[in-house]
Homo-oligomer: A and B are copies of this chain.
Amino acid sequence: MTQASTPTLVTVAERAGVSRQTVSNVLNSPEIVRPDTRERVLRAIDELGYRTNVVARQLRTRRSFLLGLRMPPAADGISGQVLDRFLHALTEEAQGSGLRIMLFAAADDEAEIREYENLRTTTGIDGFVLTATHSGDTRTRWLSDHDIPFATFGRPWDPEPAGRAAEASAEGVPPKPGHHAWVDIDGRAGTRAATRHLLDAGHRRIAFLGWPEGSGVGDDRHAGWLAAYEEAGLEHAVVQRAEDGVAEGTAAANRALADPGVTALVCVSDSIALGALEAVRELARSEPDRAPVAITGFDDTPVAGAVGLTSVAQPIDQVAARIVEQLRAQIDGRPEDVPDHQVLIEPRLVVRTTSRTEHRR
Contacts and interface: CB of A to CB of B under 8 A. Distances in A.
7 contacts: A53-B124, A55-B59, A55-B123, A78-B303, A81-B84, A91-B104, A246-B306
The size class of the interface chain A forms with chain B is 35 or more
A100 interface: yes
Contacts of A1: none
A102 to B, nearest CB: 5
A169 interface: no
A74 interface: yes
A78 B306 contact: yes
Q: Identify the 4 closest CB pairs spanning chains A and B, nearest first.
A: A246-B306, A71-B91, A92-B105, A101-B103
Determine chain A's interface SS by DSSP, over half rule. Answer: helix
Interface string A89-125: 0011001000011111100000000000010011110
A302 B80 contact: yes
B306 A51 contact: no
Nearest to A70: B91
A289 interface: no
A77 interface: yes
A306 to B, nearest CB: 3
Given A53-B121, A102-B102, 14 more contacts: A53-B124, A71-B88, A76-B305, A78-B306, A80-B81, A80-B84, A87-B87, A101-B102, A102-B103, A271-B306, A275-B306, A278-B307, A281-B281, A285-B285
Given A84-B83, A88-B71, A92-B105, A77 B302 contact: yes
Contacts of A91: 71, 103-105
